[in-house]
Amino acid sequence: MRAHLLTIGDELLIGQTTNTNAAWLGERLSLMGVRVDRVVAMPDEDEAIRAELDRAYAEAPLVVTTGGLGPTHDDVTKTVVADYFERPLHTDEELLARVRRYYERRDRDMPEEVATLAQVPEGFALLENPVGTAAGLWYADTNDHGERLLAVLPGVPQEMKSIFSAAVQPRLEARADLQDVKHRTLLTTGIGESDLQATIGDLSPWLDDHLHLAYLPSTSGVRLRITAHGTNSEDARARIDSLEAVLRERAGRYIFGTGDDTLEGVLGTMLRERGLTVATAESATGGLIGHRLTNESGSSDYYLGSVVSYANTVKVHQLGVSAHDLREHGAVSEPVARQMARGVRSAIGADIGVSTTGIAGPTGGTEEKPVGTVWVGYADAETEHARRLHLTQDRHLNKELFATSALDMIRRQLRRKEANNP
Contacting positions for its own copies (CB under 8 A): 12-20, 22-28, 30, 36-43, 48, 55, 216, 280, 282, 285-291, 293-295, 297-300, 303-311, 313-314, 317-318, 347-349, 360-363, 395-396, 399
Amino acid at position 220, single letter: S
Q: Closest distance between its own copies and the C-beta of residue 219, in Å?
A: 13
Contact (CB, 8 A) for 293 and 299: yes
Nearer to its own copies, 188 or 306 (CB): 306
> Of 346 and 413, which CB lies nearer to its own copies in the complex structure?
346
Distance between CA atoms of 301 and 306, rounded to whole angstroms?
A: 15
Closer Cβ to its own copies, 33 or 190, answer by number: 33
Residue 316 vs 414, nearer CB to its own copies? 316
Taking the least distance from each CB to its own copies, the nearer of 18 and 383 is 18
Strand pairing class (221-229; 181-188):
antiparallel
Q: How far is the CB of 393 from its own copies (least distance, A)?
A: 11
Backbone angles phi, psi at 137, to 5 degrees: -135, 150
Q: Which residues lie across from 213 on neighbouring strands?
A: 226
Helix (H) or strand (E) holding 137: strand 136-143
Closest approach of Cβ 312 to its own copies, in Å? 10
**Taking each helix axis from N to C terminus, what angle separates 193-200 and 233-251, rounded to the nearest 10 degrees?**
100
Residue with smaller CB distance to its own copies, 119 or 258? 258
Q: Is the dihedral of CA 279, 284, 288, 292 positive or negative?
A: negative
Kindly state the smallest distance separating residue 321's Cβ from its own copies, in Å: 12
Q: From 337, 338, 341, select the one nearest 351 (Cα to Cα).
A: 341
Closest CA to 223 of 261, 249, 250: 261
Cβ proximity of 306 and 287 under 8 Å:
yes
What pairing do the DSSP bridges indicate for beta strands 211-218 and 119-121?
unpaired
Which residue, 196 or 289, is less far from its own copies as judged by CB? 289
Q: Which is nearer to its own copies, 27 or 122 (CB)?
A: 27
The C-alpha atoms of residue 412 and residue 418 are separated, in whole angstroms, by 10
Compute the distance between CA of residue 354 and CA of residue 305 in angstroms, rounded to an integer. 11
Least CB distance to its own copies at residue 183 (A): 12
Nearer of residues 54 and 418 to its own copies, judged by Cβ: 54
Give the shortest CB-7-to-its own copies separation in angstroms. 8
- Cα separation of 78 and 90, whole Å? 12
- Nearest approach in angstroms of CB 309 to its own copies is 5
β-sheet bridge partners, residue 143: 146
* Min separation Cβ 203 and its own copies, Å: 21
Q: How far is the CB of 35 from its own copies (least distance, A)?
A: 8
Neighbours of 188 (CB within 10 A): 25
> If 0-12 CB within 10 Å is exposed, 13-18 middle and 19+ buried, where does residue 234 land?
exposed
Let me know how long the chain is.
Answer: 422
